[in-house]
Amino acid sequence: MTTPPDPEYLEQPAYPDDLEQPGLVRTGRSTFVRPIRPEDADRLVAFVGGLSRATLAYRSLGPVIRARDDVIRRGAYVDYLNELALVALAGDEIAGLVRYVRDTENPDHAEVTFTIRDDDQSEGFGRLLLEHIAAAARARGIRVLKADVLADNTRMINVFLGSGYRVESGPPGQIVHFDIAVDPQAQAVARAERREHTAVRRSLRPLLEPRSVAVIGANRRPLTIGHEIVANLLRGGFRGSVFPVNPRAEQVAGARAYPSVRELPEPPDLALIAVRAEAVPEVVRECAEAGVKAVVVVSTGFGETGAAGRSAELELSRFARASGMRLVGPNCMGVVNTTPAARLAATFSPALPTPGRVAMSSQSGPLGLAVLDFARRLRLGFSGFVSVGHAVDVSTNDLLQWWEEDPETSVILLHVETFGNPRRFARIARRVAPRKPIIAVHPGHAPATGQVDSGVRGGPGVRGGPARRGDSVGRVDPAAGPSDSAVSSLFAQSGVIRTRSLQELFDAALLLAHQPPPPGNSVAVITNAGGPAALTVGACAASGLRVPPLGERTRETLRAALGPGAEVANPVDLTPMATAAHYRRALDAVLADNGIDAAIVLFMPPLADKPDEVAAAILDAAEA
């Protein structure tokens, strides 16, 4: 039992909940960073007791002197202002600890110390904890963190020197002194973003490119969620092992079933959980103990049920992070990755997408089902699809960073309802959008709440209504959500194309999936009818596009290539007598003009013409 070492510690200051944050180390391993609490006293004793003599020597800057347990316990009692300690958790244990103590004579300076558990010293905990303690210190009026490091402690020295913060070091000697200015220098921000990007991608690999998948709550009955997930994994051609988990079944969808995740022949990279909400926490704990790296919680009964459900899903995400796992959901419909490296259809959706160049993140499960069905009918192929549900861990921001470097993805679609961290979203989107167009559907108002029939019976369902997330997208709240103009402004500043309906979303996706975005806003209009061309020019002007005059060389080429009567200004009017060959020559000419970034082609079919030939000529010119 933990007891305060001294009566002066009986009254503790308010605990700073805002410093509780999920974290990812360089290797992609998840952790949970939070301030130390009095109840961590015994955990702290165990942490210090497990350190090697070498680590203790680095911490004490000299000969190892093991402190008494009551002295160690005292370290769990801080005032969170003049003394602050943050711990990075690995399960129920401390993997890393950082502490600052404010200098009483120079209160904008503080002494900082780092201690990382021996087995975790090569994973990047030091750099992660430096980022967190620097932000916390800055918010508490501290400008400089001071550290003394043994000269042969190269790992810690490299953490400071590679942080991007302005660092001043003392003269070389047995002990090196560092002064670390914690103001957010551009270089520090850039390096933190680069570290985060690498860590996020590594953490998502077991989720989106798993080597093996377990389905916990697999059902023998077809048209139940647990059965359809297994069937889709097998039908989709997943290359790894599929392990249905059902204590009362020998087989599910033709695959051998196992009584529990503990009894699987190997730890699966990914586990999909489709059991009752009250059973989910114990199942996630079993997954952590079995070495699962990512979980997808399909089950409902969490944040959409009220405050108690939101608290339960928050605890679920904290446990998953502290256990080194990423978590999708709850209340989601799964993940799909059609790329050759994955061929993963970990969803209960009756409509599976064909391979293609488009990836999508959706908050709403029912909307996701509609998207996949609609896309299949339009023959729009997907490289990936993730239903994030309440998104208490894996977020749209994370997925943007995955698809940013995915060679199979060229267009990214987002279904977004509200935002929790718009700055981070904007920062990532601005980096991604110039290379891969991002199209978001946002209705401009809170969607209605209610049950939506997913078409699959039995087991946990998917309900519409408020979605909740812990990062870029949060619970829908008409009173607290951003205004429509704020959303439009955020998207515009981030380079995101906003749409207000699924039809608009798919129109833009179909366009950008089959041709690259234009490099600028200068447009040529090619037509065989003057009236539609005038309307098109007006629409371009209203949308911020330019319809500039064509270059003299382009006009000469057009005069020579087109029939008499053709107008070679911009718009280029080919007249109703234009043939497929005229369209092809006109397109070749205007697309070769250095002042033109894109062409809009209008064709009003006369009675005697052949529209198929004109369409083929337009396609040929676009592909040239």
Rounded Cα distance between 70 and 34, Å, is 22
> What pLDDT sits at residue 458?
36
Tokens (6 digits) for 499: 């749409």
- pLDDT attached to residue 31: 96
The pLDDT value recorded for residue 323 is 96
Taking a C-beta distance cutoff of 8 angstroms, is the pair 100, 145 a contact?
Answer: yes
Which of 453, 438, 611, 457 minimizes the C-alpha distance to 512?
A: 438
Least confident of 105-114, 471-480, 543-552: 471-480
Residue 449: is its pLDDT beyond 80?
A: no
**Residue 470: is its pLDDT beyond 50?**
no
DSSP state of 122: T
Query: Read out DSSP for 88-99?
Result: EEETTEEEEEEE
**Percentage of the chain lying above the pLDDT 70 cut:** 91
The answer on pLDDT for 188 being more than 70 is yes
Which DSSP category does 297 fall into?
Answer: E
476 vs 244, higher pLDDT: 244
Write down the pLDDT at residue 184.
78
Q: Which CATH superfamily is domain 203-514 in?
A: NAD(P)-binding Rossmann-like Domain (3.40.50.720)
| Per-residue confidence band for 482, with pLDDT thresholds at 50, 70 and 90 | low
Mean pLDDT (whole number) for 229-235: 97
Output the pLDDT for position 338.
96
| Residue pair 210/199 in contact by the 8 Å Cβ criterion | no
- Average pLDDT on 439-466 reads 46
CATH topology assigned to domain 7-184: Aminopeptidase (3.40.630)
Residue in 142, 138, 145 with CA at minimum distance from that of residue 168: 145
Could you tell me the residue ranges of all domains in the chain? 7-184, 203-514, 523-623
Q: What is the pLDDT of residue 368?
A: 84
pLDDT for residue 613:
86
Residue 344 pLDDT greater than 70, yes or no: yes
3-state helix, strand, coil in the chain (%, to 5): 40, 20, 40
> How far is 475 from 140, CA to CA, in rounded Å?
30
**Which of 468, 466, 602, 497 has its CA nearest to residue 547?**
602
In the prediction, which pLDDT does 258 show? 98
Give the least confident one: 17-26, 456-465, 493-502: 456-465
pLDDT on residue 67: 80
Q: What is the mean pLDDT of residues 602-615?
A: 78
Per-residue pLDDT tens for 387-425? 999 999 999 999 999 999 999 999 999 998 867 688 899
User: What are the tens digits of pLDDT across the range 92-123?
Assistant: 999 999 999 999 999 999 999 999 999 999 99
The confidence score (pLDDT) of residue 473 equals 34
Residue pLDDT, tens place only, 360-380: 999 887 888 888 888 888 889
Q: Comparing 49-53, 423-427, 613-617, which segment has the lowest mean pLDDT?
A: 613-617
Average pLDDT, the chain: 88
Which 3-state string (H, E, C) describes 566-622? Answer: CECCCCEECCCCCCHHHHHHHHHHHHCCCCCCEEEECCCCCCCCCHHHHHHHHHHHH
523-623 has the same fold as 203-514: yes
Q: Is residue 381 over pLDDT 80? A: yes
Classify residue 135 by its DSSP letter: H
My answer on whether omega of the bond before 330 falls inside 30° of 0, hence cis, is yes
Q: Is the pLDDT of residue 457 over 50?
A: no
8 A C-beta contact, residue 262 and residue 294? no
Query: Taking 50 as the threshold, does the pLDDT of residue 136 lie above it?
Result: yes
pLDDT on residue 268: 98
Residue 24 near residue 56 (C-beta atoms within 8 A) = no
Of the pLDDT bands very low, low, confident and very high (cuts 50, 70, 90), residue 459 is: very low
Q: Within a 10 A sphere around the Cβ of 535, how many other Cβ atoms? A: 11
Please answer whether residues 335 and 298 qualify as being in contact, where contact means their C-beta atoms are separated by less than 8 angstroms. no
Residue-wise pLDDT tens digits, 64-92 = 677 889 999 999 999 999 999 999 999 99
Residue from 472, 207, 152, 461 nearest 333 by CA: 461
The tens digit of pLDDT for each residue in 243-289 reads 999 999 999 999 999 999 999 999 999 999 999 999 999 999 999 99
Amino acid of residue 62: G
pLDDT for 462 equals: 35
Pick from 229-238, 293-302, 502-511, 604-613: least confident:
604-613
- pLDDT classification of 478: cutoffs 50, 70, 90: very low
Higher pLDDT, 233 or 172: 233
CA distance 111 to 102: 6
Tell me how far apart the alpha carbons of residues 327 and 321 are, in angstroms, rounded to a whole number: 8
Q: Which CATH architecture has domain 523-623?
A: 3-Layer(aba) Sandwich (3.40)
Place 472 in a pLDDT band, splitting at 50, 70 and 90: very low
Element (H, E) at 374: helix 365-378
DSSP 546: B
pLDDT at 471 over 50: no
Q: What is the pLDDT of residue 179?
A: 96
